[in-house]
């Protein structure tokens, strides 16, 4: 019994030291990680609808469960919506720019875990030399891929990703419309 | 809710099969697949451990790590949970269900280093699954693994009798056959769920 | 155990992926661009070296019964440190590799080396073992990446090399790489899971062929020597 106690103590000690070291590293990197995430979100916002500042506006969370938050552009250009929805592999987080005529001004994918080479192309800057996300500019709430009767060409081999991105864009525009 | 669960299950078993599209758990997949019997045993053990690990890790994450702001300890905590879980399951089975123990026993220690188990727990966190979704994802992910390893074992039993260049002996020919299976599984990626 | 021997063992004759056949999940999963491959390889190299040093340093004071548990804790610690540092300083890499960074914990290379090598060897030897085994792993990843990326999308050095604004290395993964031939001619299937399995299969086959050939050569040389002796 003494032996077991000793082993447990040693294991506990090792765990405690490791956890302590990790705590220190976390303390050091924490702010930078937050900062990086903020920069990434900011870049995504600027890419879809440029503004000198953004302020959060309340919306009906019940009606739009996939919408995380809606930001009004302080320069009056429109709104930027952050939305999280499920793609083909896991969840996708995306920023959607919506102008005052409820038209999409662009989309930008912040986080995803889609298949590299297929669905991941939705987030890459160019797929076979074409920016796939550019198709979304000017679309309204009825945006859909060609297979569903819309105008967006789906990514090759990634119909599910393309469809969920198109659907989420439509939902984001509708969420802005609901603000009135 | 139900549609969500069905789509998670179908996704984990067929569309995003752990082995063929996410490459999680390749080591035991290649190591324990020379016979259909051993493959089935390994598969069952993985389903069991993955389901349990998903449940326990979800509870630990939601009730201990997140409230205390210790998310950075997730990897450490999860691997310790999995390792001790495997130990407990082994002891429990040995005492109370010896028949199951004799069937699964030798595979259990191997599961600790199976990246599918740690992978499923980390993906549960990444995808913000709730308790039920996590458990469903764990079990169906394990079923997907089992499907893959059993299919692959039956292929390997046949490959053993075929002619191939000498330098492909052993692992290379397995990897090539696995690649062809992955190609077949790619057919599921176009599948639409509740379109 | 001299350094030169360790070098050839790590890189070729006892290469972790091609000969020991361990740590294959990540090898097949992330080798789609050079950026991923180099990033993953270097992360593993750093973690492996650190773990090797720590494990061999405390090898005499850890009780045998719980050594595996302690190894796992140490490895998980280093992996989390690297994970946090990547998130803070190279977020693009952290995004690209995703769940495969924390999964280094269960990468058999690291626990395998701790168990097979560092338990019995000095800190110095373990340090070099970590470096060379890590280099061997990185080398395989790079070969896989170059092969899959070139034939899959006609590119070289995606994410890592940028030639649009003059030749430079991009550490944020934004470089578009060097387009060797148009992407349309690439067999994009190679960048999919299928390509991962096939490429690794071919690489191991080539390795087995080479090792067998050199073994035969040695055998023949030994035989010739023996015959010469007999003639004398």
- The domain tally of chain C equals 1
Please provide the average confidence, as pLDDT, over all residues in chain C: 86
CA angle C21, C26, C32 (to 5 degrees): 115
Question: How far is CA C80 from each of CA A29, A30, B100, B127, C128, rounded to the nearest angstrom?
Answer: 12, 13, 36, 19, 23
**What is the model's pLDDT at position B193?**
56
- pLDDT tens for chain A, 180 residues: list them: 688 888 888 888 888 999 999 999 998 888 888 888 888 888 888 888 888 888 888 888 888 888 888 888 888 888 899 998 887 767 888 999 888 888 888 888 888 877 666 777 777 766 555 678 888 888 888 888 888 888 888 887 777 888 889 989 999 898 888 886
Model's pTM, two decimal places? 0.85
A146, A159, A162: best to mutate for the B interface, most B CBs within 10 A: A159
* B neighbour chains, 3+ CB pairs within 8 Å: A, C
Residues of chain B with pLDDT under 70: 104-106, 190-195
Distance (Å, rounded) from C-alpha A123 to C-alpha C57? Answer: 45
Please return the burial class of A103, using the count of CB atoms within 10 Å of its CB with bins 0-12, 13-18 and 19+. middle
In the stretch 77-136 of chain B, residues with CB closer than 8 A to chain C read 79-80, 83, 112-115, 118-119, 122-123, 126
**Is C32's CB within 8 Å of A26's CB?**
no
Q: What is the full DSSP assignment across C21-57? A: ---HHHHHHSTTSHHHHHHHHHHHHHHHHHHHHHHHH
- b/e per residue, B117-156, with b = 16+ CB within 10 A? bbbbbbbbbebebeeebbbbbbbbbbbbbbbbbbbbbebb
Q: Which residue from A118, A131, A165 is spatially nearest to A145, judged by alpha carbons?
A: A165
Of C66, C76, C98, the CB nearest to A10: C66
Question: Angle of helix A2-48 relative to helix C67-89, nearest 10 degrees?
Answer: 20
Quick check: C24 and B27 in contact, CB under 8 A?
Answer: yes
Backbone angles phi, psi at A125, to 5 degrees: -70, -30
Distance (Å, rounded) from C-alpha B71 to C-alpha B87? Answer: 25
Distance (Å, rounded) from C-alpha C194 to C-alpha C191? Answer: 8
Which domain, by its residues, includes C155?
3-231
Taking only the tens place, the pLDDT of each residue in C42-79 is 999 999 999 999 999 988 888 887 888 888 899 999 99
Distance (Å, rounded) from C-alpha C66 to C-alpha C49? Answer: 22
**What is the model's pLDDT at position B194?**
47
**What is the model's pLDDT at position B192?**
57
**What is the model's pLDDT at position A73?**
86
Q: How far is C139 from chain A (nearest CA, A)?
A: 21
**What is the model's pLDDT at position B195?**
40
What residues in A contact C73, CB-CB < 8 Å? 11, 14-15, 18
**What is the model's pLDDT at position A128?**
58
**What is the model's pLDDT at position B143?**
95
Q: How far is B99 from chain A (nearest CA, A)?
A: 29
The dihedral region occupied by C154, where left means phi > 0, alpha psi between -120 and 50, and beta the remainder, is left
Give SS3 for A66: coil
What's the DSSP call for residue B187? G
**What is the model's pLDDT at position B61?**
93
Question: Domain residues of chain A, as ranges?
Answer: 47-177
* C neighbour chains, 3+ CB pairs within 8 Å: A, B
In the stretch 111-170 of chain A, residues with CB closer than 8 A to chain B read 113, 115, 118, 148, 157, 159-160, 163
Quick check: C41 and C138 in contact, CB under 8 A?
Answer: yes
**What is the model's pLDDT at position B149?**
92
Taking only the tens place, the pLDDT of each residue in A90-100 is 788 899 988 88
List for chain C the helix, strand, coil content (%; round to 5).
75, 5, 20
Of C91, C98, C191, the CB nearest to A40: C91
In the stretch 11-70 of chain B, residues with CB closer than 8 A to chain C read 20-27, 30
Q: Which two tokens stand for residue A124?
A: 């890459």
Percent of chain B with pLDDT over 70: 95
The reply to whether B134 touches chain A by the CB within 8 Å rule is no
Residue C187 or A22, more confident: A22
């Amino acid at each position: 019994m003494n032996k077991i106690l000793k082993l447990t103590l040693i294991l506990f000690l090792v765990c405690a030291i490791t956890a302590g070291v990790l705590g220190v590293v976390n303390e050091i990197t924490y702010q930078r990680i937050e900062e990086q995430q903020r920069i990434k979100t900011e870049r995504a916002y600027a890419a879809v609808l440029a503004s000198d500042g953004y302020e959060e506006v309340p919306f009906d969370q019940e009606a739009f469960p996939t919408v995380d938050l809606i930001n009004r552009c302080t320069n009056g250009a429109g709104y930027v919506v952050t939305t999280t929805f499920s793609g083909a592999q896991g969840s996708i987080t995306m920023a959607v720019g919506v102008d005052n005529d409820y038209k999409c001004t662009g989309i930008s994918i912040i986080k995803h875990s889609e298949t590299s080479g297929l669905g991941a192309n939705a987030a890459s800057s160019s797929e076979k030399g074409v920016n796939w996300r550019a198709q979304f500019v000017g679309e309204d709430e009825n945006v859909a891929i060609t297979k569903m009767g819309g105008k967006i060409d789906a990514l090759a081999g990634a119909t599910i990703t393309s469809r969920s991105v198109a659907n989420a864009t439509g939902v984001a525009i509708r969420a802005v419309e609901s603000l009135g | 809710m139900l549609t969500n669960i069905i789509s998670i299950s179908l996704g984990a078993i067929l569309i995003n099969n752990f082995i063929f599209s996410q490459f999680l758990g390749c080591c035991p997949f290649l190591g324990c697949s020379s016979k259909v019997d051993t493959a089935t045993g390994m598969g069952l053990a993985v389903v069991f451990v993955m389901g349990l690990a998903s449940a326990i890790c979800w509870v630990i994450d939601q009730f201990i790590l997140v409230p205390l702001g210790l998310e950075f300890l997730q990897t450490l905590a999860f691997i310790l949970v999995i390792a001790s879980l495997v130990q407990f399951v082994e002891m429990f089975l040995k005492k109370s269900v010896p028949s199951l123990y004799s069937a699964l026993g030798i595979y259990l220690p191997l599961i600790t280093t199976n990246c599918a188990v740690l992978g499923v727990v980390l993906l549960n966190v990444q995808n913000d699954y709730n308790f039920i979704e996590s458990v469903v994802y764990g079990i169906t992910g394990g079923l997907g693994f089992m499907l893959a390893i059993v299919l692959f074992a039956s292929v390997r039993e046949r490959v053993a009798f075929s002619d191939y260049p000498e330098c492909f002996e052993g692992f290379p020919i397995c990897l090539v056959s696995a690649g062809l299976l992955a190609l077949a599984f790619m057919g599921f990626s176009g599948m639409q769920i509740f379109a | 155990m001299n350094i030169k021997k360790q070098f050839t063992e790590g890189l070729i004759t006892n290469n972790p992926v091609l000969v020991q056949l361990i740590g294959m999940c990540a090898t097949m999963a992330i080798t789609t661009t050079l950026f991923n491959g180099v990033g993953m390889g270097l992360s593993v190299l750093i973690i492996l070296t650190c773990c090797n040093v720590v494990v061999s340093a405390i090898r005499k004071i850890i009780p045998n019964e719980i050594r595996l548990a302690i190894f796992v804790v140490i490895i998980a610690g280093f992996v989390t440190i690297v994970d946090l540092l990547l998130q803070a300083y190279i977020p693009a890499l952290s995004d690209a590799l995703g769940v495969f960074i924390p999964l280094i914990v269960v990468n058999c290379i690291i626990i395998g080396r701790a168990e097979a090598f560092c338990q019995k060897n000095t800190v110095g030897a373990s340090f070099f073992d970590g470096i060379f085994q890590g280099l061997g792993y990185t080398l395989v990843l790079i070969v896989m990446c170059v092969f899959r990326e070139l034939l899959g999308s006609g590119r070289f050095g995606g994410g890592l090399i940028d030639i649009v604004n003059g030749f430079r290395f991009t550490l944020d993964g934004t470089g578009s790489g060097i387009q060797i031939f148009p992407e349309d001619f690439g067999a994009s299937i190679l960048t999919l899971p299928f390509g991962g399995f096939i490429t690794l299969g071919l690489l191991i086959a080539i390795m087995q062929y080479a090792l067998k050939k050199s073994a035969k050569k040695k055998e023949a040389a030994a035989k010739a020597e023996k015959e010469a002796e007999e003639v004398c």
